[in-house]
Structure 1
Amino acid sequence: MTEDAAPDLRASDADRERVAEILRDALAEGRLDMEEFEERLDATYRARTYGELAPITRDLPAARGAAVPAVSLTKDPEAAGSWPDRIVGGDDAGTSTWAVAVMSGFQRKGRWTAPRRFNCFAFWGGGEIDLREANFADREVVINAVAIMGGIDVVVPPGVEVVVRGIGIMGGFDHREEGVPGEPGAPRVIVTGFAFWGGVGVQRKLPRADKQRLREERRRQKLERKAAGHQLDGPRRDRPGLNLHGLHGLPDRHAEEHGEHGRGRGRDDDR
């Protein structure tokens, strides 16, 4: 996989971790200083595509000949590996096929099966359709959303292709997640319907387990940066000629003599 082949393809957490490992090796070898390492590591975890990851390690030896991390799109467990298991098929597949909110709200989230067509309606209310942990009845599912003076949010995981075909009158449909290529084997979600004085939003978010894992990884990276910073600061603390004892209570012989003379002068002044 190269940058020229698929610069717009979505990167997975595993891809970002491979780049982070290259950066750690470069820091340990002295190819990057701490400031460069932190800047590139932050850019790594912000990257969404292979095209954004490629420049981060292009000038490092581990990245020569491979502009982006080499991954198998059909076997990488962070990418398409789990999609075939989540597309369950079957004529009766679908935990729920409709939802209504009138001056109230509804949610479809967690472990559920999204049908081939899900119809929902919100009037003076709101609803949330969360597909991050859902199974899919088919490779293509349709979310038909009607929002009148209300709002409906559709949440999809990374790797899913989104197509928005809704109509808005004094309202609108969110098109920001359109145009992102889907991963091989991933389902396609079509959001359609009607919005009047309301809106239908589409968001792309990591599943909760992946978000937790990413937070733990960032916490570990922060601790490693702190440890590396202490190691770099260590030699400065031990420079010859710096009397650390004298700065804290003056425990050495010269300090004690200095303290005694000082106390003596204080008594003479009192007299």
Structure 2
Amino acid sequence: MGETVSPAVGDRDLRVSDAEREHVGMLLQRAVGLGMLSLGEFTERMDTALAAKTRGELNAVLIDLPGIRLAGQPNSTPRPQYAPPPSAPGSAGNVIRARMSGVTRKGPWQVPPTLYLNNYLSGVTLDFTQAVMSTQVVEVRLDDFCSSLTLILPAEATADLNGVELIGSSANNKVRTGPPMGPLHLVVHGRTRFGSVTAKHPFAAQWRRMMSGF
């Protein structure tokens, strides 16, 4: 009896993971920031990427975007092949990556020296009022799209939002910028597109400060 040989699976038929879909989403966000895609085109392609099951389907949303170097691209043809995403910086504990979701960290959560945020159509709230700090200065590296980031700081904390690149976005700092004198100083930089960044004290602290002015 002859041996049955399964047909070879080409690169375009390989299954893709959630991490690969998210990486393509980051490339599409970059294309919007460079003016290569409109917001409507981005939304349409992002929907296709999130639904993609194979590498060929994922390639389709990138094929006409110039300037993106993709692994596995043969020299004889300009058709791009998807590049697997690089390893995320740091450990899972210092990366917040939300997709069409709401994320809240509050209570005695452990705050690493650096936080990496990459969110799409999401709302993220980081409440530092009861957080356990490992360093006085915390760096927040931001790369968000159509998302809101709310930072709730203790009464004596400070925040610097001057390093945030705003593209169709807003930044509202309701706390002192510095210098770092209290238990926490946040340094936020990176980029947010069509979103918002807000740093503020808890409502009770704002109310007490307002009442003390009377």
Q: TM-score when scaled to structure 1? A: 0.39
Greater percentage in helix: 1
User: Whose Rg is larger?
Assistant: 1
**Which TM-score applies when normalising by structure 2?**
0.48
